[in-house]
Amino acid sequence: MNTLLSKLKSLAEPSSLRAEELIFAQKALTKFGIAAMPKDFVDLLHHINTLSLEGRHLFGIKPEPLNFMDIVNVNVFQKLASSVDNIILGDNEFDFLVYNQPHQKYLIVDKSDNKVLEEYSDLPSAIYNILKI
């Protein structure tokens, strides 16, 4: 994870995430019937709160109305089947990076047909895949 963090920090601005923003986002996700953010992703948000690289994104907590990088907005508008078990954490042109809570797996899901293309047990591998870094 440290290698990934170093790489991401070189590509993004430092996070200014406040605890109350994180709490608000987690409550909003629950309210909309979307799975909570996994702990390792929340830990990442304390270092990198959103990242955009030429059409590849890691979402974060940016609570402005209709912000396409805000994890709550993305999940409400892109609502996946069984979203109570899943949360979208990032995307690229073709795929979503999804965390499946019951199986504790990171999934690469095709946007066009929602088929799972890859499964990972760790966040860094999934991020490398979705961001192509």
pLDDT digits (tens, 9 = 90+) for 14-45: 899 999 999 999 999 999 999 999 999 999 99
The answer to whether residues 63 and 25 touch, using CB atoms and an 8 Å cutoff, is yes
Q: Which comes out higher in pLDDT, residue 88 or 13?
A: 88
What pTM value is reported for the model? 0.94
Domain ranges of the chain: 2-131
Q: Residue 74: what pLDDT?
A: 94
Burial of 84: CB neighbours in 10 Å, binned 0-12, 13-18, 19+: middle
81 pLDDT more than 80:
no
CATH number of 2-131: 3.40.1580.10
How do residues 41-62 score in pLDDT, each as one tens digit?
A: 999 999 999 999 999 999 999 8
